[in-house]
Amino acid sequence: MKFLIVLALVGAAVAYTPLSSGDADLVRSAWDKVKHSEVDILAAVFSAHPDIQAKFPAFVGKDLASIKGSAAFALHATRIVSFVSEVLALAGNSATVPAIKTLVNQLGQNHKNRGVTKDQFNEFRASLTSYVSGHAPWGDNVAAAWNHALDNVYEIIFSNLDGHPVA
C-alpha cells in the first residue's frame, strides 16, 4: 500500500485522461466513506504537514488541538471536502471534463496566488490518500482509480502553478 502512495506522488505528470465510469464509482465509493469526516481529514493533513497549516492565516502558529474544534477550522475543512466531492460527482462522464477542468483551474490559480508549492500539494495528496486508504475499503483497484483521479487533478493544478492553465 505504501508503494501505491509513493506512486501517487510521482504520477502527477501523467496526461489528463478521464476516469471510466467504473473507476469513478470506485473513487466515489471510497470517498463516500470518509467525506463526513471533514475535520478529521484536515487535522490529519495539518498533523502530518505543519507547513501546510502555516499557509492558512487563520491557523498559522496555532496549536492544532486548539483550532480543531473551532468553527473556522470546520468551515475550511468543509470547503475542501466539498470541492473534492464536487469534482468526484462530475468524474466518469466525458461530457463533464470541461467543468472539472474549470473548477480545478480555479483552485490551481487561487493556490498559486497564495504561494502554495508543488511540494505542499504533494504533501496534501499523500495525507489525503493515506486518510482515505485507512478509513475506507481499499484494494489495488481502488488505489489505481484514486491515483488516476488525483493524477488528473494534479496535472491541472501543476499547470496553473507553472503558469499554463489546462484548456
Complete DSSP assignment for 13-62: GSPP-PPPHHHHHHHHHHHHHHTT-HHHHHHHHHHH-HHHHTT-TTTTTS
Residue numbers of the domain that contains 99: 2-161
State the residue for C-alpha cell 499547470: 159
11 conformational bin, left if phi > 0, alpha if psi -120 to 50, beta if neither: alpha
Q: What's the total number of domains in the chain?
A: 1
Q: Which residue do the cell numbers 477542468 mark?
A: 101
Q: Which CATH number do you get for residue 130?
A: 1.10.490.10
The pLDDT of residue 17 is: 92
pLDDT tens, 32-88?
999 999 999 999 999 999 999 999 999 999 999 999 999 999 999 999 999 999 999
Q: Is residue 54 part of a domain?
A: yes
Please report the pLDDT score of residue 5 as a whole number.
Answer: 46
Please report, rounded to a whole number, the percentage of residues in the chain having pLDDT higher than 90: 84
pLDDT at 16: 82
Q: Is residue 167 part of a domain?
A: no
The answer to whether 91 and 53 are in contact (CB under 8 A) is no
Distance, CA of 142 to CA of 5 (rounded, Å)? 12
Q: How far apart are CA 43 and CA 50, in angstroms?
A: 10
What rounded mean pLDDT belongs to the chain?
91
pLDDT higher than threshold 80 for residue 125: yes
Evaluate if residue 7 carries a pLDDT over 50: no
Residue 166 lies in a domain: no
Residue 147 lies in a domain: yes
